[in-house]
Amino acid sequence: VADGSITTVFFDRGQGMRTPPLQSGALPGVLRAALNYPEESLFANEIDSVSLWVGNSLRGIIKAHFVIQP
């Protein structure tokens, strides 16, 4: 998982906020640069085990929930 269509992904595994590395395909967003959180990979099978947020420079950071569609 790298980013959303208009958002940067942020997550916490219990060790503080992280964001996926640019090398994973994430875009260098304005909010991402301003917050300067450490980079760490996030894989799809890990999403249900982390606290998840998305954000951009206009909306700020928004708590996100992963929903599985049947």
Q: What is the mean pLDDT of residues 54-63?
A: 95
- Give the tens place of pLDDT for each residue, 1-44: 888 889 999 999 999 999 999 999 998 999 999 999 999 999 98
Higher-confidence position of 45 and 66: 45
What are the residue ranges spanned by the domains of the chain?
Answer: 8-64
Concatenating the DSSP letter of every residue in 9-47 gives EEEESSSSEEB--GGGT----HHHHHH-PPB----GGGG
CATH label, 8-64, candidates 3.40.50.150, 3.20.10.10, 3.40.50.300, 3.40.1010.20: 3.20.10.10
